[in-house]
Chains A and B, each alone.
Chain A
Amino acid sequence: GQSLEQPSEVTAVEGAIVQINCTYQTSGFYGLSWYQQHDGGAPTFLSYNGLDGLEETGRFSSFLSRSDSYGYLLLQELQMKDSASYFCAATGSARQLTFGSGTQLTVLP
């Protein structure tokens, strides 16, 4: 099985940079994904790391270190619309996802 840990809440101001960490304990780990979910909305895909290192997609970057069982999501130039829950999710051997409990990001003006 797999379990993931991430902080429950993070607060930052508009324009700032925030990092959301995720540690995992897994068997059959294939990669780490990040999803964003606004209140009442569906989770939407942000980023995937199948290999160690940094993946950059616009204002969002994600990092994975398999040796440390650790990853993070970096959000730059924060905007009010980035206020949402962010989930890390481990991909298993059949491409099934195991989600963490989520980090509620609040962006202040």
Chain B
Amino acid sequence: EAGVAQSPRYKIIEKRQSVAFWCNPISGHATLYWYQQILGQGPKLLIQFQNNGVVDDSQLPKDRFSAERLKGVDSTLKIQPAKLEDSAVYLCASSMDRGGTDTQYFGPGTRLTVL
């Protein structure tokens, strides 16, 4: 079974530029998550989708971050304009949404550096 795919793996941009990340979850997984992990910290949830609907985006900085999950499969996360403090690894995860344990499976992440 293929895992969660993310691209690009690395991205370097200058502040005030825009950037987009792509995620393809595990086939059949209804729930998709985007996390931000700053160096030395735990992942922080940015947004959670169930199918193509948003479940939780309370920690998404909506003035600059946006995300969509068209057709309930792939998802993109966009930052526009980027700030220095956005330098982090952006992790995508998916889960089957069966309740109970509902293990989240993480992709390899996109390491963003904002100069």
Residue numbers of A with Cβ under 8 A of B are 31, 33, 41-45, 48, 50, 87, 89, 91, 94-102
Contacts of B101 on A, CB cut-off 8 Å?
Answer: 31, 33, 48, 50
Given contacts A45-B103, A87-B42, A101-B41, contact A96 B55 (CB under 8 A): yes
Contacts of B55 on A, CB cut-off 8 Å?
Answer: 94, 96
The dominant DSSP class at the B interface is loop
Given contacts A94-B55, A94-B56, contact A50 B100 (CB under 8 A): yes
- Report, nearest first, the 6 A-B pairs whose CB atoms are least far apart: A99-B42, A42-B106, A48-B101, A45-B103, A43-B106, A95-B102
- Please name the residue on chain B nearest to A46 by beta carbon: B103
With A95-B31, A98-B45 given, can you name 9 additional A-B contacts, CB distance below 8 Å?
Answer: A43-B43, A43-B106, A48-B103, A50-B101, A94-B55, A95-B95, A97-B45, A99-B42, A99-B43
Docked CA distance A87–B104 (Å): 13
